[in-house]
Amino acid sequence: MAAGKEVLNKHTLKTSVIHIVSWGDDVLVRELTGKEAVSINQGALEIQRDVQAGKPNAQRMLRWQAETVAAGWINEDGTNVLEAADIETLITQTGQSTIELLAREIRILTGIQRVDENGKDSPVEDAKKN
């Protein structure tokens, strides 16, 4: 039987548990909703424009990653761990590598970032970066 509108009310977002070595704990993240992904994609386009214009902005890149984490880091009940007001705290009190690890996994779950079967960025992603 084909699914109807009722599936929209079910929890259908993919999730993943990531072990954060520096925290000695696991974190639960989920893929972004369509609305959240649009916002994150817009941030990526702005960063890409900066790079193409020869004006890369490391602060904007870190904030974009932190916004991704804030949108996709969840508690076991599915509620967000962070609010928009927590982004600055995340940036100032968390290592960049941890923020990037979480943001990358959220982007992969969402389909924004592609990886090969070994978990490496796909050639398409490498080409976009270059």
Instruction: Give the pLDDT confidence of 49-69 residue by residue, as tens digits.
Output: 999 999 999 999 999 999 999
Indicate whether 98 belongs to any domain: yes
- Measure the CA–CA gap between 23 and 98, rounded to whole angstroms: 9
Mean pLDDT of 88-113: 96
Q: Helices H, strands E: what count in the chain?
A: 5, 3
Let me know if residue 72 belongs to a domain: yes
What φ, ψ does residue 26 adopt, rounded to 5°?
-100, 150
In a domain, 43, yes or no: yes
Rounded to the nearest integer, the mean pLDDT of the chain is: 88
108 within a domain of the structure (yes/no): yes
Give the residue numbers spanning the domain of 81.
22-117
The answer to the question of residue 122 being in a domain is: no
User: Which range among 32-46, 47-61, 75-89, 114-128 shows the weakest confidence by mean pLDDT?
Assistant: 114-128
Predicted local confidence at residue 12, as pLDDT = 80
- Let me know if residue 126 belongs to a domain: no
Residue 7 lies in a domain: no
Check residue 16 and report its DSSP letter: E
* CA dist., res. 2 & res. 63, Å (int): 41
DSSP 58-108: HHHHHHHHHHHHHHHEE-TTS-BS--GGGHHHHHHHS-HHHHHHHHHHHHH
C-alpha count within 13 angstroms, C-beta hemisphere, residue 96: 7
How many domains are contained in the chain?
Answer: 1
77-81, 95-99, 124-128: the lowest-pLDDT one: 124-128
With tokens 């941030």, the residue in question is: 43
The amino acid at residue 95 is G
From the number of C-beta atoms within 10 Å of its C-beta (0-12, 13-18, 19+), residue 18 rates as middle
CATH of the domain at 41: 3.30.2220.20
